[in-house]
Amino acid sequence: MKKFIIILSLFMVLGLTACGETTTEATTAAPTTEAPTTTVEEFNTNASIQIYTRDTTSGTREAFFKGIDFSDAVDDNQFLATGYVEVDGNGSMISSVNGDEFGIGYVSLSSLEESGLIGLNFEGVEPTEANVLNDTYGLKRPFNYIVRDDWTGMETEEQIVKAFLAYMGTIDGKATIQANSGILSIETTDQSWDDIKANYPVCSADNSAVTINFGGSTSVEKIARALSEEFSGKCGNFIADHNHTGSGDGYKRTQGEEADGANKIHIGFASRGLKLDSSEPAVTGTYGQICWDAVVIVVNGVNNVIANITTEDIKKIYDGTFTTWSDLLA
């Protein structure tokens, strides 16, 4: 029976040392959401680089790895350096890199300002909307729409969706997209909705019994919702039902295998280019680009050793050639 007690006391010591520390600090520990209070005077460049990546379903991930010329890693974790952390969403990415002074990751440009992270220049170009539009900043992805091809039995819906597409091209629609962090250029010569609404007689009718189903990418959801909420009032108060489940469903539920199923939608969105020559052979004229979104490489707020990164270097970080910050700086 002695053994039993010895083992027990062993557990106890283990438990005490580990849990004791936990509990004494638990009440005083600062939450990691706040910026680290212990500002490191000298950033320790001998520390290893901790890489963070989104999971393989993410459109941001695709845009990032394609942008840094590392297409192998889009769908494949085995090309990444060991010890990476895979996070579930832009939000987890922000909180993870915020909690790790030696971390590096990538987020959508629209969330950079609020994130508390440092966004790096890419190939010497600052990640700004202007640089995305003048095509100097390379890490970007298109937001696309795709509508149904077969409208049999949904004539009113078709008219409304056509009007909606036209609205996205007007100055009214573009301003809304821009207000919701979509990147596009607005010309003063763009038409306004007031100029063209006479071409869409369906909008002067009462459409309050018509439901338009929106779906596809979750990244485009914010823009799509803002547009539909605003446009509904301008087009007979149709009901906008949003069910965003991922870029892949944008094609699948308008023209693909679920186009006539229970999950069918009238208009879908994709936060990446459509795979026109492989799995998403959309019919010409049924799809198009709404705006751009930029991806920014981010490091923790205390990381003051780097402000710019090249394609080559970022790839070497993610494939494991560089393991410490000093490797990168050398």
CB of 288 to another protein, least distance (A): 22
Reading the block at residue 203, the tokens are 């909008």
> Based on CB atoms, which residue is closest to another protein, 99 or 124?
99
Decide if residue 323 touches another protein (CB under 8 A).
no
Identified binder of another protein from the candidate list 62, 67, 103, 132, rule CB under 8 A: 103
Which residue type does 175 have? A
Binding mask 191-230 for another protein (x = CB under 8 A): -x-x-----------------------x---x--xx--xx
Decide if residue 35 touches another protein (CB under 8 A).
no
Strands 267-270 and 211-216, sheet pairing: parallel
Site for another protein in 113-142 (CB under 8 A): 113-115
Decide if residue 55 touches another protein (CB under 8 A).
yes
Identified binder of another protein from the candidate list 43, 45, 96, 320, rule CB under 8 A: 96
Decide if residue 18 touches another protein (CB under 8 A).
yes
CB of 94 to another protein, least distance (A): 6
Decide if residue 233 touches another protein (CB under 8 A).
yes
Side-chain half-sphere exposure of 29, counting CA atoms within 13 A: 9
H helices of 170-220, in order, are 171-179, 193-196
Q: Which are the contacts of 68, defined by CB distance < 8 A and separation ≥ 6?
A: 139, 311, 314, 315, 318
Decide if residue 144 touches another protein (CB under 8 A).
no
Identified binder of another protein from the candidate list 188, 277, 285, 330, rule CB under 8 A: 188
Decide if residue 330 touches another protein (CB under 8 A).
no
Identified binder of another protein from the candidate list 121, 131, 247, 255, rule CB under 8 A: 247
Angle at 287 between CA 281 and CA 288, to 5 degrees: 125
Decide if residue 310 touches another protein (CB under 8 A).
no
> Based on CB atoms, which residue is closest to another protein, 155 or 194?
194
Reading the block at residue 210, the tokens are 């018509």
Strands 308-309 and 211-216, sheet pairing: unpaired
Which residue type does 112 have? L
Which DSSP helix (H) or strand (E) runs through 142?
A: strand 140-147
Look at residues 166, 117, 173, 103 and name the one whose alpha carbon lies nearest to residue 296: 117
